[in-house]
């Protein structure tokens, strides 16, 4: 599966397992009356790794993987909530006879004739796996969605479905970028030809740059991909792939699995909802734009950030951000280059590994960890100055 703006092969692992023997063994041990055997069959059939769901005092099952929180209600209703405010609900178990947490996943029995649904939290979002016990099970599986306001489902040529929705951004009013740039040039002059030249700025110039009024902005709303439903797949009890596809009926996604008299049951079919991949791609896009910014704009951004962080006490969030800033290099130009390098790597890591990409990047080096601390502790000050809102959303807890 390919995603717009995402490197080929970069998305988190999804799709069926290629271990036909393991699938066959799990299918032989499967019993519709034994939820643990259902979970084992799903685990054998999918290539996707699950994050453990934890039962709360309220009886819900929850997995928190910033910036999204997955909650499965006692009736099996699934809710995904992101730090950006988007919420999507999947109501798939209205007719379930029983819903229980088994081995860190949620199993809903009796959703339809001879049909069970297994909900698994993943690095990228959520996986809902249908297990069709025998030929009496329906081959059309409906997934009614409660989408964010203004969102819509759009089928893609590769068989996946994009969820498009309104996203609000603040953009500079006409002439504002030029005003800030011109004011910066008056302070630093026309002779700045490299980032290293910015290291020669005096403390007075840095204070003057920081004092330039911020760009006046206005909110605009654009339609963007906020989530994706991955290409569907299905396998029979022998691990043989079966033809399967989606259709969209309003806000309901229907997965159809084509079976024949030769199909070996039980059959496992899966759609996966992905939020993280898009967030990682947007972060990378923001970093690329930051790296291409003019020196005057970069000078203003660095000055505003450094002055604000210097004024903060070391024990405050901004103070901790300043400590992380200094770990990234010995000069402001070196630090800026390192920020671009590290945050771009972070975005690509999230594209490849989903939510676990944040921890993987943090563990990769001291500077990688410092870049995440800078984003997290610097909060919207760092994100706003450098235009890295999507990156900030990935690291907040």
Among 239, 273, 307, the domain-final residue is 273
Whether the pLDDT of residue 291 is over 90: the answer is no
List the domain range (segments joined by +) for residue 79. 20-148+226-273
Count the neighbouring beta carbons within 10 Å of the beta carbon of residue 339.
26
Mean pLDDT of 175-181: 92
Among 258, 273, 288, the domain-final residue is 273
Return d(Cα 262, Cα 245) in angstroms, integer.
20
Residue 336 burial class via C-beta count within 10 angstroms: exposed 0-12, middle 13-18, buried 19 and up: buried
Kindly state whether residues 234 and 297 are assigned to the same domain.
no
Q: Which residue has the tokens 């989606």?
A: 246
Strand ranges inside 173-299, DSSP E: 217-229, 233-235, 244-249, 252-257, 267-270, 272-274
Whether the pLDDT of residue 27 is over 70: the answer is yes
Residue 111 lies in a domain: yes
Kindly state whether residues 328 and 266 are assigned to the same domain.
no
Kindly state whether residues 115 and 144 are assigned to the same domain.
yes
- Total count of residues recorded for the chain: 397
> Two tokens at 381?
């000050």
- Identify the CA nearest to 318 among candidates 234, 385, 267, 220: 385
Return d(Cα 350, Cα 278) in angstroms, integer.
9
Torsion angles phi and psi, residue 307, rounded to 5? -65, -45
pLDDT of 378 reads: 81
Residue 106 lies in a domain: yes
Residue 166 lies in a domain: no
What does the DSSP assignment read for 284-298? HHHHHHHHTS-HHHH
The reply to whether omega before 67 is within 30° of 0 (cis) is yes
pTM for the model: 0.78
Comparing 56-60, 145-149, 216-220, the range with the smallest average pLDDT is 56-60
Task: List, for residues 34-86, the tens digit of each pLDDT value.
Answer: 999 999 999 999 998 888 888 887 777 787 654 467 888 888 888 887 655 66
Whether the pLDDT of residue 3 is over 70: the answer is no
pLDDT of 152 reads: 94
Kindly state whether residues 79 and 113 are assigned to the same domain.
yes
Residue 157 lies in a domain: no
Which residues make beta-bridge pairs with 307?
none
Whether the pLDDT of residue 277 is over 80: the answer is no
Task: List, for residues 370-394, the tens digit of each pLDDT value.
Answer: 998 988 888 767 777 777 777 777 7
- Identify the CA nearest to 194 among candidates 304, 337, 54, 61: 337
Residue 247 lies in a domain: yes
Comparing 39-48, 298-307, 354-363, 379-388, the range with the smallest average pLDDT is 379-388
Kindly state whether residues 258 and 296 are assigned to the same domain.
no
Among 246, 273, 300, the domain-final residue is 273
Kindly state whether residues 391 and 250 are assigned to the same domain.
no
Comparing 8-12, 18-22, 55-59, 254-258, the range with the smallest average pLDDT is 8-12
Helix (H) or strand (E) holding 106: strand 105-112
pLDDT of 343 reads: 86
Count the neighbouring beta carbons within 10 Å of the beta carbon of residue 369.
16
pLDDT of 12 reads: 47
pLDDT of 268 reads: 98
Going by pLDDT thresholds of 50, 70 and 90, the confidence category of residue 329 is: very high
pLDDT of 7 reads: 34
Whether the pLDDT of residue 13 is over 60: the answer is no
Contact between residue 235 and residue 241 where contact means Cβ atoms under 8 Å apart: yes
Return d(Cα 301, Cα 282) in angstroms, integer.
20
Kindly state whether residues 232 and 378 are assigned to the same domain.
no
Torsion angles phi and psi, residue 229, rounded to 5? -105, 115
Mean pLDDT of 182-193: 86
Alpha carbon 380 to chain centroid, angstroms:
19
pLDDT of 68 reads: 63
Kindly state whether residues 144 and 292 are assigned to the same domain.
no
Residue 125 contacts by C-beta under 8 Å, 6 or more apart in sequence? 68, 70, 80, 227, 272, 273, 274, 275, 276, 354
Residue 108 lies in a domain: yes
Kindly state whether residues 239 and 336 are assigned to the same domain.
no
Return d(Cα 135, Cα 118) in angstroms, integer.
19
Residue 161 lies in a domain: no
Residue 260 lies in a domain: yes
CA distances from 120 to 204, 238, 394 (A): 56, 23, 21
CA distances from 95 to 98, 251, 259 (A): 9, 19, 24
pLDDT of 123 reads: 78
Whether the pLDDT of residue 9 is over 50: the answer is no
> Two tokens at 376?
């997290």
83 or 293, higher pLDDT: 293
Kindly state whether residues 130 and 247 are assigned to the same domain.
yes
Kindly state whether residues 251 and 340 are assigned to the same domain.
no
3-state secondary structure 69-90: EEEECCCCCEEEEECCCCEEEE
Whether the pLDDT of residue 309 is over 70: the answer is yes
Kindly state whether residues 90 and 26 are assigned to the same domain.
yes
Overall domain count for the chain: 2
What does the DSSP assignment read for 290-324? HHTS-HHHHHHHHHHHHHHHHHS-TTSHHHHHHHH
Going by pLDDT thresholds of 50, 70 and 90, the confidence category of residue 278 is: low
């Amino acid at each position: 599966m390919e995603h717009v703006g995402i490197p080929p092969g970069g998305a988190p692992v999804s799709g069926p397992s290629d271990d036909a023997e393991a699938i066959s063994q799990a299918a032989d041990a499967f019993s519709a009356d034994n939820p643990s055997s259902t979970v084992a069959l799903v685990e054998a059939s999918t290539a996707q790794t699950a994050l453990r769901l934890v039962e709360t005092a309220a009886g819900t099952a929850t997995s928190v993987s910033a910036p999204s929180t997955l909650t499965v209600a006692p009736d099996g209703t699934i809710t995904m909530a992101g730090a950006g405010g988007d919420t999507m609900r999947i109501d798939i178990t209205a007719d379930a006879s029983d819903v229980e947490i088994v081995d860190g996943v949620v199993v809903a029995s009796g959703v339809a004739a001879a049909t069970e649904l297994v909900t698994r939290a993943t690095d990228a979002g959520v996986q809902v796996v249908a297990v069709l016990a025998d030929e009496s099970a329906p081959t059309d599986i409906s997934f009614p969605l409660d989408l964010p306001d203004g969102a819509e489902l759009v089928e893609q040529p590769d068989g996946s479905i994009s969820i498009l929705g309104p996203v609000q951004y603040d953009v500079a009013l006409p002439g504002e970028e030029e005003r800030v740039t011109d004011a910066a040039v008056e302070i630093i002059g026309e002779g700045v030809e490299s980032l290293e030249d910015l290291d020669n700025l005096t403390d007075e110039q840095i204070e003057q740059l920081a004092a330039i009024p911020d760009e006046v902005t206005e909110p605009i709303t654009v339609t963007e991909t906020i989530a994706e439903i991955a290409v569907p797949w299905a396998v029979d009890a022998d691990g043989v792939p079966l033809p399967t596809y989606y259709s969209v009926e309003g806000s309901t996604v229907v997965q159809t699995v084509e079976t024949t008299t030769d199909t070996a049951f039980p059959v496992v079919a899966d759609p996966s909802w992905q939020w993280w991949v898009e967030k990682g791609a947007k972060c990378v896009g923001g970093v690329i734009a930051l790296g291409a910014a003019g020196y005057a704009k970069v000078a203003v951004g660095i000055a505003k950030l450094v002055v604000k962080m210097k004024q903060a006490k070391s024990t405050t969030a901004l103070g901790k951000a300043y400590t992380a800033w200094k770990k990234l290099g010995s000069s402001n130009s070196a630090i800026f280059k390192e920020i671009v390098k590290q945050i771009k790597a972070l975005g690509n890591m999230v594209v490849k590994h989903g939510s676990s990409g944040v921890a993987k990047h943090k563990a990769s080096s001291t500077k990688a960890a410092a870049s995440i601390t800078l984003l997290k502790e610097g909060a919207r000050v760092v994100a706003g100055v450098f235009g890295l809102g999507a990156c900030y959303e990935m690291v907040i807890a």
